[in-house]
Chains A and B, each alone.
Chain A
Amino acid sequence: MKGLVLSAAALVLLVIGSAVALRFYRGNKEFRVFLGAFGAAGALYAGAFWLLPPDLGFLPAGWRETAALVDFGNGFLLLVLMFHGYWCFSYFACLSPSMSVMVSLRLRGREGMTRAEALAIQGSDQPVNLIFQRRLPKLLQGGYVREEAGAYRILAPGERVAALGSFLKRLINAQMIA
């Protein structure tokens, strides 16, 4: 139970800390903020687990896990899973094209929108739409693709990601739409 309590406390701090940090962060590599917050929360969890007494000063004797390693590992696993869920939710809620449509419709009320207006949210009227404006620079900087003679060529790290992605798509029997 000690691990669960500390894991919950670390998660609360992680969420608050990352939300505050995102308000001040000016770049477009938000994953660094999330990973930094997770690193701090993990260190805080481990430190608190090491320093605090097994009953945390208030847990009943029956709620104490006898094996400290199981207690620690269980709390850390829950922290990791909750962090992953929070990270995915944040990216989906803030950046997903589907969510952008729903948020725009939510703000418009009953007016609704046409297919062309839904496309325009993603900058379809611009030479390079938002989907590529956000991803291409990251793929270039990360060494996944290289720009050459007006085209983009995939590099070895990109090939590895593509191979993993293809494997996962085969595993879940997902179809490529394009």
Chain B
Amino acid sequence: MLKGLVLCGLLIMIWLIVQAAVFHLVAPRKAFASMLACFAPTVPLYLVLYVMTPADVGFLPSGFVGADWRLGLVNGLALQVLLFLTAGLFYSHADRSITVRLLIELARAPQQRLTLAQMQAVCGVEVLMADRLEIMLANRFLSAQGDRFVLTPKGWIGGSIGLAARKILRMKAL
């Protein structure tokens, strides 16, 4: 099992370095699509490395080798995908968090203070929603019909998932 963990950890590290370079050199408009494109080759690479390397990867103590190789293979692959998704969520936190954005604006402001009206002007609902609507249009969750927004099939699925989650989890906007 440890072999799969070592290989997936190695590949995730390489992917993170490549992805950071891509973000800085190319600045992709669709960040998640770029992340997916860079991550995708690591899946077959993991499978090839798992098959080609010895059970102890050349350095693991014998006590860490022994479980069924298929279990180690699937476990490592599942962990690799989960780490990718977690990295995607961290990207989302850094890029989209409203609270962090608000605090950055406050830290940058003269004397590090803003009135409510100033805060609403720099990161209020108009600025935020203009940003979000543009992202949802670009990612084809919404389409524009005249002056109205409507859901695309992809957006309909997203909205249905959100609706179901809100019925089950009952978290409140306030």
Contact = CB atoms under 8 A, between A and B. Distances in A.
Interface of A: 1, 4, 18-19, 22-23, 28, 30, 62-67, 70-71, 74, 77-78, 81-82, 84-85, 88-91, 93-95, 97-103, 105-107, 110-115, 118-119, 122-124, 128-136, 138-139, 144-145, 148, 150-154, 158-159, 161-163, 165-166, 168-169, 171-174, 176-178
Given A94-B166, A102-B155, A65 B101 contact: no
A30 to B, nearest CB: 5
Given A94-B165, A107-B163, A85 B67 contact: no
B148 A103 contact: no
Q: Nearest 8 pairs between A and B by C-beta?
A: A106-B159, A93-B165, A168-B94, A165-B100, A94-B171, A102-B159, A112-B148, A162-B107
B132 A134 contact: no
A124 B126 contact: yes
B104 A115 contact: no
Contacts of A71: 1
B107 A159 contact: yes
Contacts of A98: 132, 135-136, 141
A78 to B, nearest CB: 7
Given A97-B132, A101-B132, A124-B125, A135 B107 contact: no
Given A105-B159, A106-B159, A151-B113, A19 B124 contact: no
A152 B119 contact: yes
Given A154-B107, A168-B93, 18 more contacts: A18-B169, A23-B170, A66-B63, A67-B63, A70-B64, A74-B79, A77-B79, A81-B83, A84-B89, A88-B93, A95-B173, A105-B149, A105-B155, A106-B159, A151-B116, A154-B112, A169-B104, A172-B91
Contacts of B24: 173
Interface in B1-47: 1-2, 5, 20, 23-24, 27, 31
A33 to B, nearest CB: 9
A22 B67 contact: no
Contacts of A30: 171
Contacts of A135: 98-99, 102
Contacts of A18: 169
A18 B169 CA distance: 8
Contacts, number: 251
A152 B147 contact: no
B57 interface: no
Contact of B149 (A101, A139, A168): A101
Contacts of B92: 88
B52 interface: no
A123 B43 CA distance: 44
B161 A93 contact: yes
B127 A178 contact: yes
B111 A153 contact: yes
Contacts of B49: none
Nearest to A113: B149
B130 to A, nearest CB: 8
A172 to B, nearest CB: 5
A1 B67 contact: yes
Interface in B74-115: 75, 78-79, 82-83, 85-86, 89-95, 97-107, 111-115
